[in-house]
Structure 1
Amino acid sequence: MGNGTFGCFGKLPIHSDFIRFRASGEEVRALDQWLQEGILAGKSRLGRGWEADYFQADPWNFVFQVEGTDSFLIGTLAPSRDQAGRSYPFFIFLRVDRKRFAAPIQFAPMTYASFLNEAAALARSGGSGMRLKEFLEHLERMNLPIPDDRAPAAEEENYRRFLQGEPSRAFWTALFGEFEHPKKYQVDQNLLAILGPMRQTSSSRLGFGLRFPLIASEKNRKEDIPLWIDLIARMLKRPPAALNLFWNRTPAKGTPWMMLFMGPPSAKSFLSLIAPSLDGGTAYELAPETAVELQTVKEKVDAGRRAVLENGEISLAAFLEKMGAV
């Protein structure tokens, strides 16, 4: 039996109000509250420009959790509206039992990759051509790919083998198009500035999100999400707390990225999903698009860390170990 209860919640043009399908639970209520408050914050910031930006926004995958609950959500949310034109996203999710998920939560995107593909297709269709009753009956009949309890540990093992066999050069080249790219050093420099002071405390939380670059979907690579979280843990010397993730590998504009929170996400951060180019002050971009000379940014990096970053022949496993030690 698969670990995950399928549900959905939100608005679609086929109905005049919210659509709820197996949408009970604290996690759904918390995600709904985050979206409601985020919409209010977005309207306040964008004013008359809100609707245009909202309806042009990309769908986003997410891992969302509430501390102290027995489950977490993984799914896809997409901008939508009801029959009257009132805006609110529609999100499709699995509620995953934490106790049965036998790996750290960062392996959920790899474990549920097939489900996310199906959820994205469902979000795009939005029940087009159906009445509400037909749509709900369609949801009941859906046979979604939900992995069993062995899958998380298997994906973690696949990831560990990947780290051992993949040279650092291959990862950075897949991410940025070339090995010696300024953004590689910017990510490290910015992460160290944020996480370095946290090493001296017991805190594993941040009051803002971190924006990480991701590998494009056509390269069929999914190890970057757990790798970034692995790097955070090495640099902090402990696992990050209460991870919440939002990511998109196929944005209509710009490059793929992930917004990561160590703790509950701020409602204002929802604006980053609607209008990523706006600086809402709630997410720090680790690899900004601003042009910078390679040599200039390299000179700002600690010599020990720079030596590791310049070595493209070491495995990613060795890279992570060394970056956690310097």
Structure 2
Amino acid sequence: MPLRIERFGCFGKLPVSREFLVDDPRRLSESGFDRWVGEGLGLAKARFGPRADRLVAEFPAWRFLWSSGRGSWLHGLMVAGEDGAGRRHPFTILAWCEAQGPLTGATLLSLDDLLPSMRRLLEACRNAATPAEVLDVVRREPAPAPPDERGSGASLDRWLRATRAEEFWTAALGDADAASRRVVLSNLEESAAPLRGRDPSGARYGLSLPLPVSGADHATLATPDAFTTTTPAAFWLDMLNRELGRPLEAGAIFWRADGAGLSADLLVFFSRPSGPQWAALIDPDVELESLSVLKRHYPGFTREQLSPAMTGRVSRPDARLSDYLDGKET
């Protein structure tokens, strides 16, 4: 899905102002993203009670792609924020995108081309002396060249062929136990099966998939020199597209901006996420009926539930991640 970046923007709160800092509020409202964050934050405060303030204060940095409809996508870098009165609300650097075609792993990985600019804009906004200066920072930033999806696709392919599946699972799950892998992949197959070959945008649930973390023991994992969760997130997106029998064309995808901490996740929503689902951004252990956490052992799981083809891939000690995608058998 080649992307054209129209312009940068921002939304959220910083100490320089007691009000929301919003660039192009009309367009943002049409996307629904601002309403989702506001509703989700309010519901999270009700759900978590006294814990809510700490969870929002420790909000991990997330990157995301949000479908705005009609081929428009909103890419963002979202971090913890608060206004001049100490009221907590995330702050987001936005990139308005136009797309042609479906969403693939190469598309996701190509967004890393924008990350240095978005981090620089975030720092400049944080250092701004006035609210007007914050808005000027993003409005004056020229639109970048389109992300290199072809080059990202080639880079992703090399990473998939170089990365041993056992090393990936150890970094993502903390162990190389084949049973843990079978749980994740069986849950993936079970979640995707009802949507296979259909337009998944009517599904109201989401999936949480495990990502490697930078603190894990994965010194031999074939990751880029600068650790990023985008490459493994791209692998999972292509795996999901494979199970669905068609690429995603709508919904929203969130992945941790870095792999710091004990765990990291990729969140995929087939349609626009609901307010309650926002809680998954601040609490990875939250229980939501509308979010399937694929690394959890749900009641009723048996080894036989994993398809024979996938069982063969999981059982191979020498398997590469590329084997999971190209259907290579034992």
Aligned CA distance change for structure 1 residues 39 and 181 (closer, same or farther; 3 Å):
same
Q: CA deviation at 1:17?
A: 0.9
Equivalent residues, number? 314
Name the structure 1 match of 2:244: 236
Determine if contact 2:44/2:52 at 8 Å carries over to the other structure. yes
Structure 2 residue 187 is matched with structure 1 residue 190: yes
Name the structure 2 match of 1:320: 325
Name the structure 2 match of 1:87: 88
Aligned CA distance change for structure 1 residues 249 and 85 (closer, same or farther; 3 Å):
closer
Distance in 2 of aligned mates of 1:178 and 1:187: 13
Name the structure 1 match of 2:131: 132
- Superposed CA deviations along residues 31-60 of structure 1, whole A, max 9, x for unmatched, are 101111112211221234322321122121
Q: How does 1:229-268 map to 2 (within 5 A)?
A: 229-248=237-256, 250=258, 253-268=261-276
Secondary structure, aligned partner of 1:171: helix
Secondary structure, aligned partner of 2:266: strand
Name the structure 2 match of 1:71: 72
Determine if contact 1:213/1:287 at 8 Å carries over to the other structure. yes
Name the structure 2 match of 1:49: 51
TM-score by length of 2: 0.80
Secondary structure, aligned partner of 2:49: helix
Secondary structure, aligned partner of 1:17: coil
Distance in 1 of aligned mates of 2:119 and 2:278: 19
Structure 1 stretch 215-224 or stretch 75-84: which is displaced more? 215-224
Name the structure 1 match of 2:219: none
Determine if contact 1:210/1:261 at 8 Å carries over to the other structure. yes
Structure 2 residue 42 is matched with structure 1 residue 36: no
Paired AA for residue 204 in structure 1:
P
Residue ranges of structure 2 left out of the alignment (5+ in a row): 216-222
- Superposed CA deviations along residues 158-179 of structure 1, whole A, max 9, x for unmatched, are 3234434544344334434554
Paired AA for residue 184 in structure 1:
R
Moved over 6 A (4+): none
Determine if contact 1:26/1:66 at 8 Å carries over to the other structure. no
The equivalent position to 2:315 in structure 1, one of 301, 304, 310, is 310
- Superposed CA deviations along residues 272-303 of structure 1, whole A, max 9, x for unmatched, are 11222221333211013x79xxxx96566444
Aligned CA distance change for structure 1 residues 28 and 117 (closer, same or farther; 3 Å):
farther
- Superposed CA deviations along residues 166-213 of structure 1, whole A, max 9, x for unmatched, are 4434433443455444331111111122122333x6342431111111
Secondary structure, aligned partner of 1:3: strand
Secondary structure, aligned partner of 2:200: coil
Determine if contact 1:16/1:84 at 8 Å carries over to the other structure. yes
Q: How many percent of aligned residue pairs carry the same amino acid?
A: 22
Structure 2 residue 273 is matched with structure 1 residue 277: no
Paired AA for residue 235 in structure 1:
E
